[in-house]
Chains A and B, each alone.
Chain A
Amino acid sequence: MTDTLEIAGLHVSVEGKPILRGVDLRMERGETHALMGPNGSGKSTLGLAVMGHPNYEVTAGSIELNGENVLGMSPEERARAGLFLAFQRPIAIPGVKMADFLRHATTNVRHPERKEGEELIPMRDFRKELKGKMEHLRMDVEFARRYVNDGFSGGEMKRAEILQLAMLQPKFAVLDETDSGLDADAVRLASESIAEIGRAKMGLLIITHHDKLLEHNPPDVTHVILGGRIVEKGGPELAVELYQHGYDRIRSQYPEAEAQNQQMIQQEETV
């Protein structure tokens, strides 16, 4: 049976302020979906809510992985169950080497029942696998010895997220602007890598403003989000329209959602 991720009627608030107002989205493993929307429409919020960020309170609705509601699960349990988020803004962990971080992460995700203190995957196997994947992503091996995202350039952080995706092999991955901060060559490489790593094996939810990523990963479904709601759903042609012509049509077609989008952005500015 194919794995499914189903988000239904999802409402999310931050500090009591509603951000998502009823999001429905269903995908199967092996599918690629695009999530598109203007700034402040709630794209990143959806990704963080899927992983269970403590500040993002789900006030209604459900997120189900293979029919099981994940809302009661910690982020750790969700990761071990096969969910992944490539962060729009990855977090630096000073003093923790990328390789050590990834070895621990990979062990936990591959052995969901592992208890703290139990064996990690053997160093030699891990090193070999990591080295292979880094070569594939054309990353310098030196990268593994650097501290997690500490002092990384924007582009390096995004490539590090892709490396983690490659190592952790989740069932479903939300890729939040994983192509931003990269130059043209790097975007192409990232797009190809993501296609290779995930397209067939995972369910991908791609958040992007650019065309390259979707060119290599044409979406089966395109979702358009505005003011915290999915206002339109279409095929790959919808994604093409949006990155070619922008959101003017959407904004004028859905004035109520647009008003809420503006309101959220203004609230953010006054904070």
Chain B
Amino acid sequence: MFHGACSLIFESMWARLFNVGVESAPDSIERFTDTDRIAFGCPQFNQKKSMQASAQIAFDDASFSAFLASRQEPEWLATQRRQAWQAFGELDWPNRSHEEWLRTDIRMFGLQRYGLDSSPPESVELPQPQLAAGIELGGATVSLDSSSVKSQCEARWQERGVLFGDLGKLVSAHPEKIQPHLMRRAFDVNYDRFAALHGAWWSGGTLLYVPRGVVVDEPFHAFSAITDGGVDLGHTLVILEEGAEATLLSETASLNPTAGGMHCGGVELVVGAGANLRYVNLQDWATGVWHFSHQKAVLGQDANLQWTIAAMGSRLAKVNQHVGMVGPGANCQVNGVMFAEGRQHLSYHTLQHHEVASCHSDFLYKTALQDRARTVWRGMIKVDPQAQRTDGYQRNDNLLLSTSARADSIPGLEIEADDVRCTHGSTTGKIDEELIFYAMCRGFSRREAVRMIVTGFFQKIFDRITIDSVRQALGLAIARKVREYD
């Protein structure tokens, strides 16, 4: 049984974080350029870094064959990988002529700079996970540079048929459970070149499989970290059979907060009829990391999903988040918390797809931006002709904490049924000075006032999050980031 290491009371965490907080925030973000990337990094990892250089596998044909040979996976999986690699070869990198990439510039991204690390991970000190403080877990995985360093599932859950751990290992041990779902309905390797790259090369990652009717009341925790310049190609696959219930908390981090690297990932959530999944994903890579991810949930009849996404880190993030409601009565709530600073660019594309009747979807994304950060949120509610009695909601609020930050918010509806209720909206604005003045009249410093107001801005989302440790972690992460506002 493991416990989160951090059980400090709220106030003193608050105190700690404010004392160190703002002054130590790296202003190097502002100066950061692509070529600087290698120069960053704690000295203690330099050694690893240089060893790694000799053990890196480039993303080319020769290495791919060697990669396949080294993995000893079932033939169906090798075939799947080969097909994806072929798609990769046939596709071009997306560019700004594609609608989805219109506002997201990846010309500075060069895949040739990255490679998969084949050397076994050394024992390095990992950052403290944020989401699992003070809670008892049903299991935990940790990966470093896409290699599993810890994979554990409590015996009491294993006894009930639950599988949780490193997907790379479990896929060979339990193909009958995994093959029907892995990259079938919830991941399309042909979607774009990043999806194809991931489909071919994914390694590490997390599987959570909960058999029919099993209710797991302890959250699972998945932690992915990368070294400076490292690569994470982890794949997350969650399968809840009919009537199952579970919670998965996943988070990412870099060993060094200004390091570079690349994540090219995929998330598949397969939620069976009447099943209930709570999934939390905190993306907190260092400010030099490229983050590309395709994430999709497929909900069966009367299934329930609460999906909370927190986007804090990375240099540039491009994420597709898709919920497909394929069984009548499915219900999903999506909570998006984004905080962008420095020159970060976070681009989230959500799709709530009502494929059948009587489903309910509720997406709320809130974003705060400071410095010269940029966010793009593009949401779509798609209602198929047969999806009558759809109830869809979509909203994105953006709070600008500096005059040079920019938020693009593009809500959209595509409705082909006639008996539906869909609402969408978005707001973008800065903090009203009157709020700051009022708080200052009550003895708040300007910065305290701004922190409080920003936290209040996110409160509506926090109120929806039903996991205490997650609510607290996200509240702290946001408060830590808010700097002077003028």
Q: Are A119 and B459 in contact (CB under 8 A)?
A: no
B435: contacting residue among A91, A109, A120, CB under 8 A: A91
In the complex, given contacts A93-B456, A94-B460, A96-B452, what are 16 additional A-B residue pairs having Cβ atoms less than 8 angstroms apart?
A51-B441, A74-B440, A76-B445, A76-B446, A79-B440, A79-B442, A91-B437, A93-B435, A93-B438, A93-B452, A94-B457, A95-B457, A105-B439, A105-B443, A108-B442, A119-B11
Supposing A53-B437, A54-B437, A104-B448 touch, asked if A80 and B11 sit within 8 A by C-beta, the answer is no
Give, as a whole number of angstroms, the nearest-CB distance from B476 to chain A: 12
The answer on a CB contact under 8 Å between A79 and B446 is no
Interface residue? B126 (CB, 8 A): no
Q: Point out the residue from A80, A96, A117 that lies within 8 Å of B455, measured CB to CB.
A: A96
> Is B442 touching A147 in the complex (CB atoms < 8 A)?
no
Q: Which of B15-23, B57-65, B71-79, B341-349 interfaces with chain A?
A: B15-23
Chain B's nearest CB lies how many Å from the CB of A139?
Answer: 18
Chain A positions 61 through 74: 1 when the CB is less than 8 Å from some CB of chain B, otherwise 0: 00000000000001
CA distance A168 to B444 in the complex (A): 12
Given contacts A76-B445, A105-B443, A117 and B438 within 8 Å (CB-CB): no
Residues of A within 8 A of B (CB): 51, 53-54, 74-76, 78-80, 84-85, 87, 90-96, 100-101, 104-105, 108-109, 116-120, 123, 147, 164, 168
Query: Which of B11, B15, B18, B455 is A95 in contact with, Cβ under 8 Å?
Result: B455
Given the interface pairs A116-B447, A117-B19, the reply to whether A93 lies near B439 with Cβ below 8 Å is: yes
Q: How far is the CB of B444 from chain A (nearest CB, A)?
A: 6
A148 to chain B, nearest CB (A): 8
Q: Report Cα–Cα, A168/B437, bound state, in Å.
A: 17
Inter-chain CA distance A117–B453, complex, in Å, is 16
Interface residues of B in 417-468 (CB under 8 A from A): 433-435, 437-448, 452-453, 455-460
CB-based contact A54/B442 at 8 Å: no
**1-59 of chain B: CB within 8 A of chain A:** 11-12, 14-19, 21
Task: List 8 A–B pairs whose Cβ atoms lie within 8 Å, in order of A's numbering.
Answer: A76-B446, A84-B441, A87-B441, A94-B456, A100-B452, A116-B445, A117-B18, A168-B442
- Interface set of B (CB-CB < 8 Å, partner A): 11-12, 14-19, 21, 433-435, 437-448, 452-453, 455-460
Cβ-defined partner of B15 (8 Å) among A54, A79, A105, A119: A119
Given contacts A101-B452, A117-B18, contact A75 B459 (CB under 8 A): no
Asked whether, in the complex, the Cβ of A164 is within 8 Å of the Cβ of B18, the reply is no
The total of interchain contacts (Cβ-Cβ below 8 angstroms) comes to: 93
State the CA gap A109–B440 with chains docked (Å): 11
Residues of chain A within 8 A (CB-CB) of B14 are 117
A120 touches B433 (CB 8 A): no
Q: B444 near A105 (CB under 8 angstroms)?
A: yes
How far is A80 from B444 in the complex, measured between Cα atoms in Å? 9
**CA–CA, A109 to B444, complex, Å?**
9
* Partner pick for B444 among A108, A118, A120, CB 8 A cutoff: A108
Whether A118 and B433, one on each chain, are in contact in the complex, defined by CB atoms closer than 8 angstroms, is no
Chain A proximity of B457: nearest CB distance (Å): 6
Chain B, Cβ-Cβ closest to A81: B443
CB distance from A44 to the nearest CB of B (A): 13
Cβ 8 A contact of A96, one of B433, B445, B446, B453? B453
**Is there contact, CB below 8 Å, between B459 and A109?**
no
Q: Which residues of A contact B441 (CB under 8 A)?
A: 51, 75, 78-79, 84-85, 87
Which chain A residues lie closer than 8 Å to B435 at the CB level? 91-93
Contacts of B445 in A (CB 8 A): 76, 108, 116
Give the residue name and chain of the A residue nearest to B10 (CB).
A123
Q: How far is the CB of A255 from chain B (nearest CB, A)?
A: 35
| Partner among B12, B17, B443, B459 whose Cβ is within 8 Å of the Cβ of A108 | B443
Are B444 and A117 interface neighbours, CB within 8 A?
A: no
CB atoms of B442 and A109 under 8 A apart: yes
A116 to B483, CA, bound (A): 12
A78 to B444, CA, bound (A): 11
* Cβ contacts under 8 Å, A51 to chain B: 437, 441
Indicate the member of B11, B14, B441, B455 with the most A CB atoms within 10 Å. Answer: B441
Determine which residue in B21, B435, B439 has the highest number of CB atoms from chain A within 10 A of its CB, and name it.
B439
A116 CA to B442 CA, complexed, in Å: 14
